[in-house]
């Protein structure tokens, strides 16, 4: 297995719970932007590109989302765990990088194969050593 490069992106005190930063990291022969988030004490990192239309997703609003409820009822939950794309409002789970989907409402599904990548955020491993936060690419 190919080893991944470690890139120091912040000091741990720069990322208290609820905080984020956008880091410029050399990778793949160029500089890429990585969004690093502290979600309730868990550090996660994603490439700053929305899979939908290429927006700088990591600068989007960190918020909660509406969960399914009874007709006319709105249940707000998961505050601070959802990242909303600034261009088209697509919502991603910051803990998994997956696009949010209402599991109770489904259209009939058919298998389709295209050249389009999965609609999840590209994630990177995050680790700390002492007071320094590293992203592994």
Q: Could you read off the pLDDT of 45-58 as tens digits, one per residue? A: 888 988 878 899 99
Mean pLDDT of the chain: 79
DSSP string, the chain: -PPPPEEEEEEGGG--TT-EEEEEEEETTEEEEEEEEEETTEEEEEES--TTT---GGGSEEEEEEEP-STT--EEEEEEEEEE-TTT--EEETTT-BBP--TT--PPP-----SPPPSB--EEEEEEETTEEEEE-
Question: pLDDT digits over 68-77, tens only?
Answer: 788 888 888 9
The answer as to CATH 2.102.10.10 being correct for domain 6-136 is: yes
Confidence class for position 2, pLDDT limits 50, 70, 90: low
Question: What mean pLDDT do residues 16-45 have?
Answer: 89
- Return the residue matching tokens 């700088």: 56
Higher pLDDT, 89 or 122: 89
């Amino acid at each position: 297995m190919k080893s991944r490069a470690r890139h120091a992106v912040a000091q741990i005190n720069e990322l208290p719970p609820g905080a984020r930063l956008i880091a410029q990291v050399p990778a793949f022969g160029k500089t890429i932007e990585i969004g690093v988030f502290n979600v309730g004490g868990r550090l996660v990192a994603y490439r700053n590109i929305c899979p939908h239309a290429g927006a700088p997703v990591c600068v989007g609003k960190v918020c909660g989302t509406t969960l399914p409820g009874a007709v006319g009822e709105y249940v707000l939950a998961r505050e601070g765990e959802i990242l909303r794309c600034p261009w088209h409002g697509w919502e991603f789970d910051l803990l998994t990088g997956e696009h949010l989907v209402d599991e109770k409402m489904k259209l009939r599904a058919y298998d389709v194969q295209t050249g389009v990548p999965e609609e999840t955020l590209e994630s990177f491993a995050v680790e700390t050593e002492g007071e320094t936060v590293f992203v592994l690419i």
